[in-house]
Amino acid sequence: MFLFCSYSHSTMQTQNRQQRLAALRDTIANIERKPALAEMRARAFDGAADGFPRLPGGLLQDVCTDAVRNGGASLGFALGQVRTLFTPKRLAVLYLQLAADAQFFGLPYGPGLSSFGLDPAQLVIVRASDMQDLLWVAEEALACRAVAGIVADIGGAPEMLDFTASRRLSLRTAESGTSLFLLRYGADRPASAAHLRWHLAPHRSGRKPFDDRAPGPARWGLTLERGNTGQNTREWILEWTGNAFKSLPDRAGKTRQHPPGTPVSLPLPALLGNPISQTG
């Protein structure tokens, strides 16, 4: 009896220690402002094993979509990610737009944010007069430690947002731990130093319960064009459930996850395994 208890106690200690280590790692990364990318492999399994990865903060992400009519989808995708980045200290999300583009893109709508799953009181809308001011606002907001994410609507390919500017932004985001999402529209891909680049395409929604003809929950098709999330797959079909992204299997019925035969690398020890088996 005594032996058995001590073993399980030590394995539970191992689990607690690992959790505590992970928490300490987070705190040290916060203080030292280490770039988040180095931690991404370790975090890749925060989400469900076959779901959309829960990406950490501190990333510059380009969300490209073909036309302005997909603006709601790209904003939803960005806000869905920002929602996972809220902590007790990081409570705000910023939305940036050029003041002249309000009618073209539309403005975030309070009751719409509530039905999406975000509290409209957390959103601050900034309307800049030109691109230079917008980039300045982005840098200022990145320097603030209380912002969880920034979403900026960039129409066209402005000259001010060239490779140098985007590299500067990517360094700032990595330093500060705040994520910056640039929503881009159009088919061409300007040179960008973003950590991740997504292509978002609209997808038909599923069924709404009790109403066959109504649109169901929002669905999008996402392709990771550039960057690495620590998972092998690069295409998802996501549905927004009001709280989180749900990855859906594609038409063929199998999840587009690990191609058969590829070994999956697990940097963390198997916490889900049988505790007793670790004593060996």
Site for other proteins (CB under 8 A): which residue of 12, 21, 38, 99? 99
Contact between 145 and other proteins per CB under 8 A: yes
Nearest distance, CB of residue 278 and other proteins, angstroms: 39
Among residues 174 and 237, whose Cβ is nearest to other proteins?
237
Determine, following the binding rule CB under 8 A, whether residue 240 of this chain makes contact with other proteins: yes
Least separation in angstroms between residue 216's CB and other proteins is: 8
- Contact (CB, 8 A) for 105 and 97: yes
Quote the DSSP letter at residue 57: S
Among candidates 67, 107, 24, 111, which has minimal Cα distance to 200? 67
Among 10, 30, 47, 71, interactor with other proteins by CB under 8 A: 71
Q: How far is 171 from 161, CA to CA, in rounded Å?
A: 15
243: CB partners within 8 A, 6+ apart: 83, 117
| Interaction between residue 92 and other proteins (CB under 8 A) | yes
Are 201 and 81 spatial neighbours (Cβ–Cβ below 8 Å)? no
Cα–Cα nearest to 130, from 166, 93, 160: 160
Closer of 91 and 191 to other proteins (Cβ): 91
Among 2, 188, 204, 273, binds other proteins (CB under 8 A): 204
Give least dist CB 131 to other proteins, A: 13
Q: Which is nearer to other proteins, 33 or 145 (CB)?
A: 145
Nearest CB to other proteins, comparing residues 205 and 257: 205
Integer Rg of the chain from CA: 21
Stretch that binds other proteins, among 35-43, 55-63, 76-84, 160-168 (CB under 8 A): 76-84
Find the binding residues for other proteins in span 105-144 (CB under 8 A). Answer: 105-116, 120-121, 123-129, 133, 136-137, 140-141, 144
Rounded to whole angstroms, the Cα distance separating 151 from 122 reads: 13
Query: Could you tell me the end-to-end alpha-carbon distance of the chain, in angstroms, rounded to an integer?
Result: 18
Query: Helix or strand or coil: residue 250?
Result: coil
Cβ proximity of 245 and 238 under 8 Å: yes
Residues at the site binding other proteins, with contacts judged by CB under 8 A:
69-73, 75-77, 79, 88-92, 99, 102-103, 105-116, 120-121, 123-129, 133, 136-137, 140-141, 144-147, 201-205, 208, 211, 213-215, 218-220, 240
